[in-house]
Amino acid sequence: MLTHTEENYIKTIYHLSGDANRDVSTNGISEVLKTKPASVTDMLRKLSEKSYIHYIKYQGVTLTKKGKKEALQIIRKHRLWEVFLVDKLKFHWDEVHEIAEQLEHIHSNLLISRLDEFLGNPAFDPHGDPIPDPQGEITIRKKYLLCDMAVGFNGVVVGMLETSPAFLQYLDRLNICPGAKISIKERIVFDGSLEILLQEDKQLVISYEVAKNLYVSD
């Protein structure tokens, strides 16, 4: 069984390597995990021995099939717990990450399948990210920047490019959050701002700057 630390490294490698399974750098990992590169090297040797990663000295790492499977299980747990925290315990979608970071390390398959069922088998977490199924399959949902969509577009908010507290607070004030329904009514040519309809009832105007930082999907 993996330790919390090993799980965190695997998860970080997954996030850094992206869908394309690109090579991940030692420094990159150390930055995310706030450890020194030397510590990362030690762990990489260990994970390589346990065959969770492909690792060649000085050349970066990728996850093996086994490692990727493990990463997806951890992400599945993390995102299911986030849904629990937001849907059931009324947390704001923006304050659940740290708690889910702890909960994702609870070991019990039965717990996770029961939780999944209890939550109604959600496909996306409160940030709009897909929740891997028990086999590690994820529903890929193409996402676009709102600013690139045409008048008449109709879809849902699935995330933000910019994640500074200032931006998130502003969005919150506008009632824009992941999962919110959004459609484009008009584009103001003068400054690129958009007139939108939110949740099918609130009409408002958002600046091009805001639209440039909002991911949507249809």
- β-strand 53-55 against 61-63: which pairing, if any? antiparallel
Q: Which does 134 bind (CB under 5 to 8 A by kind): DNA, its own copies, none?
A: none
Under the binding rule (CB under 7 A), the answer on residue 217 touching DNA is: no
Q: What angle do CA 18, 210, 95 make, to 5 degrees?
A: 60
Q: Is 3 in the site for its own copies (CB under 8 A)?
A: no
User: Binding residue for its own copies (CB under 8 A) from 22, 50, 57, 88?
Assistant: 88
Residue of 217, 209, 213 lying closest to 163 (CA atoms): 213
Count CB atoms within 10 A of the CB of residue 176. 22
83 part of the interface to its own copies, by CB under 8 A: no
Among 10, 13, 14, 60, indicate the residue that binds DNA (CB under 7 A): 60
Q: Does 91 bind its own copies (CB under 8 A)?
A: yes
Contact status, residue 195 vs residue 188, Cβ threshold 8 Å: yes
Q: Which two tokens stand for residue 7?
A: 């799980």
Q: Which of residues 117-146 bind its own copies (CB under 8 A)?
A: 118
The site partner of 20 among its own copies, DNA, none (C-beta below 5 to 8 Å per kind) is: none
Q: Does 26 contact DNA by CB under 7 A?
A: yes
Q: Choose from DNA, its own copies, none: what does 27 bind? Cβ within 5-8 Å by kind.
A: DNA
- Minimal distance, residue 25 CB to DNA, in Å: 3
Is 6 a binder of its own copies (CB under 8 A)? no
- Answer for the pair 124, 131: CB distance below 8 angstroms, yes or no: yes
Q: Which helix (H) or strand (E) holds 47?
A: helix 37-49
Identify the residue among 107, 145, 148, 175 touching its own copies (CB under 8 A).
Answer: 107
Task: Enumerate binding residues for DNA (CB under 7 A).
Answer: 3, 5-6, 25-28, 33-46, 55, 57-60
Task: Enumerate binding residues for its own copies (CB under 8 A).
Answer: 85, 88-91, 98-99, 102-103, 106-108, 110-111, 114-115, 118
